[in-house]
């Protein structure tokens, strides 16, 4: 489908969460993500919670349309962000620019994640390992394969960097790559006064993600699902709109 056809298609979709310009961008960015997945050929795609969860819905909704000859990789989620610093009494998490050597920075990051070796994190890693198939009997992986981490967009890139470091710590021999769904040029279409960078509805209202607004226990590496039926309505509307975007 070319851009003209895409525009004609999305004009017939009832506007709920996204306007026509935003839907056009979503279509193009989802197609680009699919192209990246096919090129990287990961065994697993891990979306950053909560910000990137709706993009997993977009990938699933669009996959058969744009990549019918390819099998979609396993999709999982990880909830890693600045709030984790409170758990280990960090006034601020380590920033690369604060260190005069890469070695010192990586040591600080490693020390940070070592404090999260809790029962909850061990269960999470155990589940991930069950879903990833090592090559032969060796704890090694093909050049293609491994994990692809997907986030919504980047302001500082810090959360994604920490997530990469976390998985590098637990899967040292496995290829890892990362991908940002939205680009800098998309900011004008997803802007909000007083917000730094691209703004998405679920940045300020987690109900759109079907995940709870309640603060997760710090050792958890997955976000808590929203159980309240009323609060889930926005997320269900968003999922329905995403299905219409790619299946009308």
- The string of DSSP codes covering 103-156 is HHHHHHHHHHHHTT-SHHHHHHHHHHHHHS--BTTTTB--SS-SEEEEES--SS
pLDDT digits (tens, 9 = 90+) for 206-227: 999 999 877 666 667 888 899 9
Higher-confidence residue of 26 and 176: namely 26
Looking at mean pLDDT, say which of 29-43, 73-87, 183-197 comes out highest.
29-43
Q: Which of 4-8, 80-84, 156-160, 216-220 has the lowest mean pLDDT?
A: 4-8
Residue 50: asked if its preceding bond is cis (omega within 30°), the reply is yes
Higher per-residue pLDDT: 78 or 119: 78
Cβ pair 223, 216 in contact under 8 A: yes
187 pLDDT more than 50 = yes
* Residue 37 C-beta-side C-alpha neighbours within 13 Å: 27
In this predicted structure, what is the pLDDT of residue 15? 47
pLDDT score at 180? 94
At which residue do the structure tokens 């699902």 appear? Answer: 225
pTM of the model: 0.81
Residue 142: how many CB atoms within 10 A of its CB?
Answer: 12
Determine the average pLDDT of the residues in 168-195: 88
Lowest mean pLDDT among 90-99, 117-126, 169-178: 90-99
Distance (Å, rounded) from C-alpha 238 to C-alpha 233?
A: 9
For residue 11, the enclosing domain spans 3-247
Token pair in block for residue 138: 């060796």
Per the structure, the count of domains in the chain is 1
Query: pLDDT band at residue 35, thresholds of 50, 70 and 90?
Result: very high
Q: Name every residue whose Cβ is closer than 8 Å to that of residue 72 and which is 6 or more positions away in sequence.
A: 37, 59, 60, 63
64-89 average pLDDT score: 82
Distances (CA, A) of 12 to 23, 242, 247: 11, 14, 12
Sheet architecture: strand order including 74-78:
74-78, 44-48, 147-151, 176-180
Is the pLDDT score of 194 beyond 60? Answer: yes
């Amino acid at each position: 489908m070319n851009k003209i056809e895409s525009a004609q298609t999305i004009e017939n979709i009832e506007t709920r969460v996204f306007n026509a310009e935003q839907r056009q961008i979503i279509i193009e960015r989802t197609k680009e993500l699919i192209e990246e997945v096919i090129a990287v050929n990961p065994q697993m795609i891990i979306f950053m919670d909560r910000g990137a969860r709706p993009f997993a819905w977009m990938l699933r909704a669009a996959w058969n349309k744009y990549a019918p000859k390819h099998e979609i990789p396993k999709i999982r989620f990880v909830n890693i962000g600045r709030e984790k610093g409170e758990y280990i009494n960090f006034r601020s998490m380590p920033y690369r620019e604060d260190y005069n050597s890469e070695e010192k920075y990586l040591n600080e990051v490693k020390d940070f994640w070592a404090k999260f070796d809790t029962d909850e994190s061990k269960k999470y890693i155990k589940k991930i390992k069950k879903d990833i198939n090592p090559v032969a009997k060796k704890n090694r992986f093909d050049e293609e394969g491994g994990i692809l981490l997907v986030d919504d967009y980047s302001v500082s890139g810090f959360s994604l960097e920490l997530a990469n470091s976390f998985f590098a710590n637990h899967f040292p021999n496995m290829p890892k790559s990362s991908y940002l769904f939205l680009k800098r040029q998309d900011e004008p279409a997803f802007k909000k006064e007083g917000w730094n960078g691209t703004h998405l509805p679920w940045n300020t209202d987690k109900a759109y993600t079907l995940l709870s607004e309640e603060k997760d226990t710090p050792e958890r590496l997955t976000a808590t699902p929203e159980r309240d039926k009323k609060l889930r309505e926005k997320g269900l509307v968003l999922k329905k709109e995403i299905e219409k975007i790619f299946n009308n």
